[in-house]
Amino acid sequence: MLKIENISKSFNPGTVNETKALRGLNLNVNDGDFITILGSNGAGKSTLFNAISGNFFVDEGRIILDDQNITFMPDYKRAKWIGRLFQDPLKGTAPHMTIEENLALAYLRAGQSKTFSRISKKDEEFFCEKLKMLDMGLEDRMHTQVGTLSGGQRQALTLLMATIVPPKILLLDEHTAALDPQAADKVLSLTKKIVEENHTTCLMITHNIHQGLQTGNRSLFMADGNIILDLQEEERKTITMEEVLEKFKAGAHKDLDNDRILLSE
């Protein structure tokens, strides 16, 4: 499905500020995988997502999506196949446009509409049905400007926009971290439901180790621009926290010392 072969990326190369963000990283993602990704700040998690999304081109290696080499494909072309949510709920929507207009824009980006000048009655009915899935009453507020919604409502809408036409792969970059606990639980529950119903292949960055080990079917731990630990579904069911930390130390040659991860509940 998604093959990442020996990718590397450095920023400010050849200067005193050079940073090696990815170091020969390899990853095979199977169709339908729901993978959680954990690691300290600077481990390379978001950089990996940026490489997959096409925010920049990698220095070395290849990225293959469904047997197509997308390594040097620009981000706007990849957007038809790759959905992404960010930590900031304000990033995924246009605040001065209505809910309906935001959904139409997402539909256009996914290549399902050829024009943005007119939203048909059929489109309205389709958007309304999709909004009902969120169970937030937004189907009755389709002409409301998105900037008036709460953070949880905007993030739920962004999730819907990213999956209104199911993408080949969905990237979730700590998409619940900025929300209050109740809204975070709601958005995560919606995420699981949408991913399962659409059989969407998904990668989710989280700092919550318990959430990371209980969500999806695989958990990756990253450090220094590489994958240190890849826990498969069966192993995750029986592994203890002490064993996770021991395996991480063996692979990274250092302790996992991020308090936000270790103290998460």
| Cα-to-chain-centroid distance, residue 245 | 24
CATH of the domain at 72: 3.40.50.300
pLDDT (tens place) for every residue of the chain, 265 residues total: 999 999 999 999 999 999 999 999 999 999 999 999 999 999 999 999 999 999 999 999 999 999 999 999 999 999 889 999 999 988 889 999 999 999 998 888 766 555 555 788 898 999 999 999 999 999 999 999 999 999 999 999 999 999 998 999 999 999 999 999 999 999 999 999 999 999 999 999 999 998 999 999 999 999 999 999 999 998 998 999 899 999 999 999 998 877 667 666 5
The pLDDT assigned to 51 comes to 98
Report the distance separating Cα 51 and Cα 49, nearest Å. Answer: 5
CB atoms within 10 A of CB 191: 24
Provide the whole-model pTM: 0.93
DSSP letter, residue 168 = S
The pLDDT assigned to 181 comes to 92
The pLDDT assigned to 112 comes to 57
User: Which has the closest alpha carbon to 154: 103, 111, 218, 219?
Assistant: 103
Domain that holds residue 252: 2-262
| Cα-to-chain-centroid distance, residue 70 | 18
What are 38's two structure tokens?
């954990």
Strands (E), 66-134: 68-69, 82-85
The pLDDT assigned to 263 comes to 60
Helix (H) or strand (E) run with residue 165 in it: none
The pLDDT assigned to 24 comes to 97
∠ CA 83-108-143 to the nearest 5 degrees?
100
> How many domains is the chain built from?
1
The pLDDT assigned to 259 comes to 60
